[in-house]
Amino acid sequence: STTYIEQGKQPKQMKKTFELGVLSGILTTNELFVDYTKGYFELVVRAEDDAKHMDTSKIGVYVLRDEHRVKVVINDMPDYVRTFREEFIAFASNITGAVVNMDDIQYHVNEGEIDFTKTDMLIHVVNTKTNKIMDVDTVITTIDENYDSLERLFKDFNVIEVLPFVPPRTDKDNIDIVRILLILIGVVIFFGAWIFICLMLRYKRLYKRNVRAAIAGSIGSHGVGMEMFDVPNTNKYSFEGANPIWLDPYYSQFAEFQE
């Protein structure tokens, strides 16, 4: 069985979120977890062998984001850091009283540049009381509060600093975002105004043309003697409203003969 647990809310039973291989034991997912980042999943797994020996275990599954990660910068090569990672994690868990999990070990990255002489150890910390991933600020505060106990750890393992994996957003970043939004709004308004002006000019031309055509038809119907051909911007091929009898050449000649 699978249960989604979020602090302050009722546990929710999930039926098809995960699929566990009966023989392989591989746990796979069947959906996206965008809406489940504030809690965790608790899976009850039962195993049985051919001798009918059974056992049950609970598994906690967390949705980890980069905002949950803490970067520990170590002044050593990654290959060397991997040799003492288990010792480092155990010591840190003992001091902080939380579960420290290591996510990755990679070369140090500072403002987009890679430093091959240093290492970034990416970790996240789980609160043992709430079974919830601790916020980065809480982790760093806990480390600061236990700095006296961790000082030996930092010296033995050449730890330079501990900081969030995702840098906090600065005022400059906020200003840049606002500037980009204003530019986009300005572009949309410009193109909207340009399209509106083009449509208005087109409708104005059509209106003037219809007015000229109406005036020409009115003048011709009163016998003033002005032909429709003499009015500019009118369609000389339009015979709307004309008597269809006189449009036939035969009847036209007959009319001239009668006259």
User: What is the overall mean pLDDT for the chain?
Assistant: 78
Amino acid sitting at position 38: K
What share of the chain has pLDDT > 70, as a percent?
A: 79
Scanning the structure block, which residue is given the tokens 């009668």? 258
Q: Range with the lowest mean pLDDT among 90-104, 122-136, 231-245?
A: 231-245
Closest CA to 72 of 154, 167, 147, 168: 154
pTM summary value:
0.54
Contacts for 32 with CB less than 8 Å, ≥ 6 apart: none
Q: Average pLDDT for residues 3-11, to the nearest whole number?
A: 81
Q: How far apart are CA 238 and CA 216, in angstroms?
A: 12
Q: What is the pLDDT of residues 168-188, one digit of tens each?
A: 555 555 566 778 888 888 888
* 222: pLDDT strictly greater than 70: no
Task: Please report the pLDDT score of residue 176 as a whole number.
Answer: 66
Q: Average pLDDT for residues 135-147, to the nearest whole number?
A: 84
Task: Please report the pLDDT score of residue 107 as a whole number.
Answer: 92
Q: Which two tokens stand for residue 10?
A: 């009722």
